Amino acid sequence: MIFLGTGASEGIPDPFCNCEVCRKARESGDPREIRGRSAFAIDSHNLIDFGPDAHLASARFGVPLYELKNIFYTHFHSDHFDLINWESIRMSLTPPHISVYLSEPAFRGMQHYRELLSAHYPDRDRDFRFYDEYIHMIPVRPFEPFETDNMKVCALRTIHEGAFMGETALNYLFERKGKRFLYASDTGLYEEDNYNYLQGKLLNTLIMECSFGNAVRQPGFKHLTCEFISQMIERFCEDGVVNNRTEIYLTHIGHKGGLNHLELQQKMRDMIGMQVEVAYDGLRIADI
């Protein structure tokens, strides 16, 4: 599995920002400090999110997508979904047929988006007619597992509001060959329904967002801070979801968290005292 984009919506550095995090990221020369927008490849068939930088990351990190079968969209904020990436599918001489998994409100939102664009832009109407043939949108509901590509997949619910009316982001739990993996971005603190569903389901790999690092936020906030992550991991440990063999990675890192890569790494290791690694673009981790 490989991280193709580990930045929050503005990426790091935000080109329009000269804060300390962005400045250090530019000056450090450390490639881990340069973060594109969200995308994660489980393997050559399965992708989670497809942000605007995923196109270039695919080439940079040697992850071609011509065999892609599934994209699991957490939500349709533009750092996770960008129509320009679908345009590359349309321009392909060997376009793959892709199933796109998304929440029900996002499915309705995409239909409406299509109607609006098609009514005003003939080019977009043409694009969407192509997508009808190659991109199959499948709405999914939280806590209703389904199978695809030898994986059991189940969406979890979050309080992170998405781009469309009524949309909240999905997180995804994957199981394959006895291994379990949770992708938790974008989210906010979990509510009891997620904890209940996950109870006793020990994870091999846990990926969580860390958009707001050192910042102080109140419960109900739509992203995670180091403090929120620490609280969630404590609960996961109590519930038998995480133990000291679970590999934990942080992604969706934003400059508003106030910490650069190694600072965030150190802070989280001190706070959690477990195996936790701040991901970076191009980081490869154990497959499921």
Task: Give contact residues for Zn ion (rule: CB under 5 A).
Answer: 14, 17, 19, 22, 77, 79, 186, 255
Q: How far is the CB of 116 from Zn ion (least distance, A)?
A: 21
Burial 99-116 (b: 16+ CB within 10 A, else e): bbbbbebbbbbbeebbee
Query: Nearest approach, Cβ of 279 to Zn ion (angstroms)?
Result: 14
Do 198 and 182 meet the contact criterion of CB atoms below 8 Å apart? Answer: yes
Write out the two tokens for 240: 């038998």
The distance of closest approach from Cβ of residue 226 to Zn ion in the complex, given in angstroms and rounded to an integer, is: 17
Closer residue to Zn ion (CB): 128 or 183 = 183
Helix, strand, coil content of the chain in percent (nearest 5)? 30, 25, 40
Q: Give the position of tokens 């098609």.
A: 118
For Zn ion, give the closer residue by CB, 30 or 234.
30
**CA distances for 87 relative to 92, 101, 222, 284, angstroms:** 9, 18, 30, 27
Nearer to Zn ion, 255 or 261 (CB): 255
Residue recorded with tokens 């600072």? 263
For the CB of residue 223, give the shortest distance to Zn ion in the complex, in Å.
Answer: 8
- At closest approach, how far in Å is the CB of 19 from Zn ion? 3
CB of residue 103 to Zn ion, shortest distance in Å: 12
DSSP-assigned beta bridge partners for residue 136: 99
Measured from the CB atom, the residue of 194 and 246 that comes closer to Zn ion is: 194
Nearer to Zn ion, 5 or 282 (CB): 5
Closer residue to Zn ion (CB): 162 or 180: 162
User: Helical H runs in 165-260?
Assistant: 192-198, 226-238
Q: CB 160 → Zn ion: shortest distance, Å?
A: 6
Beta pairing partners, 46: 43, 70
Cβ proximity to Zn ion: between 180 and 255 the closer is 255
C-alpha distance from residue 177 to each of 69, 174, 180, 204 (Å): 19, 10, 9, 12
